[in-house]
């Protein structure tokens, strides 16, 4: 049975016997220009007004997915830790509310290596916070962030992302394994290449028979303009053209298959589904 239970602390989705809890790592505060700069302003502003979204400031939630399957307790991304943004870094409190301690995590799976998804990896002493976990990341994503040229190629605005990612990934180099598009990384969990936001970004389909949930990461990065105009280039994406093509493909698939989604930066708890209308797509929040 595919069900949803929402509380103030989290949302819970069941896919067969697999339990997915969506827990908060807080929220970001970003300038609107971070996403909106490449977009045509005369078309953008009416759409944002329709969604009640300010063009000047974005405050997206950070929704981390916790999966429990048999004797495995799996995190998809680890949040940003306390040092990245003032309103983030609360994942440990959110896990504690579910009775989950850092040492209970058996596996960590990364969608990508941006700060709000990776920098929560280390504790206050720069040791891996999830001490008993094994780690998994897409092979292309690992190769990109571990490449010594990335810090120079990524651009000045994101150079700190490259430095921070490589330092943290080096800390778990002996405990990490890699996967590619289509690989079943855990029973019933398939990796889906959703490149563009980063060069090796991955989403994950959790499936039991006809029931499925797609953990999106940042492949669909907000609940307004990414749905209304998925084909537009976004300033948040490292490869805007590829990311736009990824969004368009995902929207079509998710609408056709009526797949429920969990989005890291989608409104509320990030749980919902996609509907196609007469003017783009819409995220229908179920959390």
Whole-number percent of the chain with pLDDT over 70: 97
Domains of the chain: residue spans and CATH: 3-215 (3.60.15.10)
Distance, in Å, from the CA atom of 200 to the CA atom of 142, rounded to the nearest integer, reads 8
Task: Answer whether residue 6 shows pLDDT above 70.
Answer: no
Enter the tokens of residue 206: 């959790």
Considering the entire predicted model, what is its pTM? 0.95
Q: In 3-state terms, what secondary structure has residue 287?
A: coil
Per the CB < 8 A criterion, the answer to whether 240 and 257 are in contact is no
Chain centroid offset of residue 129 CA: 19
Enter the tokens of residue 101: 């301690």
Length of the chain: 287
Per the CB < 8 A criterion, the answer to whether 78 and 117 are in contact is yes
- pLDDT 10s digits, 43-62: 999 999 999 999 999 999 99
Band of pLDDT at residue 221, cut at 50, 70 and 90: very high
């Amino acid at each position: 049975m595919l069900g949803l239970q929402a509380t103030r602390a989290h949302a819970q989705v069941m896919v067969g016997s697999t339990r997915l809890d969506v827990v908060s790592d807080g929220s970001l505060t970003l300038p609107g220009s971070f996403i909106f700069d490449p977009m045509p302003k005369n078309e953008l502003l009416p759409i944002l007004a329709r969604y009640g979204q300010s063009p000047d400031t974005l405050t997206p939630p950070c929704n981390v997915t916790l999966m429990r399957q048999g004797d495995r307790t799996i995190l998809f991304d680890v949040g940003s830790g306390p040092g990245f943004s003032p309103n983030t870094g609360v994942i440990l409190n959110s896990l504690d509310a579910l009775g989950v301690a850092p040492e209970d995590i058996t596996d960590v799976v990364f969608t990508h290596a941006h700060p709000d998804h990776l920098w929560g990896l280390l504790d206050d002493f720069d040791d891996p916070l999830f001490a008993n976990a094994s780690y998994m990341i897409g092979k292309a994503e690992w190769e990109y962030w571990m490449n010594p040229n990335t810090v120079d190629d990524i651009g000045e605005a994101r150079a700190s992302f490259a430095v921070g990612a490589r330092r943290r990934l080096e800390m778990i180099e002996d405990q990490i394994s890699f996967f590619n598009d289509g690989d079943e990384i855990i029973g019933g969990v398939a990796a889906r290449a959703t490149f563009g936001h980063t060069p090796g970004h991955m989403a994950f389909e959790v499936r039991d028979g006809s029931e499925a949930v797609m953990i999106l990461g940042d492949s669909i990065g907000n609940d307004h303009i990414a749905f209304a105009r998925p084909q537009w280039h976004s300033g948040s994406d490292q490869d805007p053209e590829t990311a736009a093509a990824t969004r368009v493909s995902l929207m079509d698939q998710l609408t056709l298959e009526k797949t429920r989604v969990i989005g890291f930066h989608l409104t509320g708890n990030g749980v919902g589904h996609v509907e196609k209308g007469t003017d783009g797509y819409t995220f229908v929040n179920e959390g």
